[in-house]
Amino acid sequence: MTLMHDAPRTAIRAERLTAHLGAELFDVDLAAVAHDDELFAQLRGLLTEHKVLFVRDQPISRADHVALARRFGELEDHPVASSDPDHPGLVQIYKDLDSPAEHYENAFHCDATWRECPPFGSILRCVEGPAVGGDTIWVDMVAAYNALPADVRTRIEGLTARHSIEASFGAAMPAEKRAGLHALYPDAEHPVVRTHPDTGEKILFVNAFATHLTNFHTPDNVRFGYDYAPGASELLNYLVRQASVPEFQVRWRWTPNSFAIWDNRCTQHYAVQDYWPAVRRMERAGIVGDRPY
């Protein structure tokens, strides 16, 4: 594959934004990266290192947005949000003044863990945003796992959790439609601690889509019924709350044609909904991932 743009190759410059995760990129044209092996290899390496990448002033086409995401893998639609009709997999997250009130994005979550194979990652673009507000927060779940007390890390090793679209997106639907959504996307079960396939790092892998621990009720964990209910749910809630620790976070203020590229396997994010009555329109290309282990 050859370079499709006239600009010469240069090393992509990355400036770290926090001690744990996040870097802003400079000297980069994402349209060029979408069509050049060497530039893409640089980008992929920086993503592995920093977990989430940010870049401003990228007025690229939707076709190049999709082409860049497809360098990582195939794209996936969302069963609730619509996609651009000319670019399947480019999900439109449009919040207008007449948009229905909903609160799915403003919870710390890892995208689509209700799938058996949650996304590898996403590339998100700000098409239009408020003058202030509407930031997004990302969280390093490797750092969150490493900071857990040693006895908690021992206790959760080998545990699995159930993740549900029915209990999240489906909960606001009429019963029949909710049941239909569950039939199409049955609850998925994932390890509470997953391993990053590229780095081998341990990741705390529970979030707002996790409903309960599925293999907690064993003789080692349960002496009395209270150890399981509410004991197991209290443990899960404690683990989910780790994403809210500021020391593990980076916060990004959007501007038009700014992008975020993140590794969904080892991060969570939270879209701050503090901008009404302004408009916020985002377009996201989500990349198919593998089964967590």
pTM over 0.75: yes
SS (H, E, C) the chain: CCCCCCCCCCCCEEEECCCCCCEEEECCCHHHHCCCHHHHHHHHHHHHHHCEEEECCCCCCHHHHHHHHHCCCCECCCCCCCECCCCCCEEEEEECCCCCCCCCCCCCECCCCCCCCCCCEEEEEEEECCCCCCCEEEEEHHHHHHCCCHHHHHHHCCCEEEECCCCCHHHHCCHHHHHHHHHHCCCEEEECEEECCCCCCEEECCCCCEEEECCCCCCCCCCCHHHHCCHHHHHHHHHHHHHHCHHHEEEECCCCCCEEEEECCCEEEEECCCCCCCCEEEEEEEECCCCCC
> What pLDDT, in 10s, does the model give residues 96-151?
888 877 778 899 999 999 999 999 999 999 999 999 999 999 999 999 999 999 99
The band of 1, judged by pLDDT with boundaries at 50, 70 and 90, is: very low
Average pLDDT over residues 279-293: 97
pLDDT value for 176: 95
Highest average pLDDT, of 3-17, 54-68, 79-93, comes from 54-68
Catalytic residues: 109, 111, 269, 284
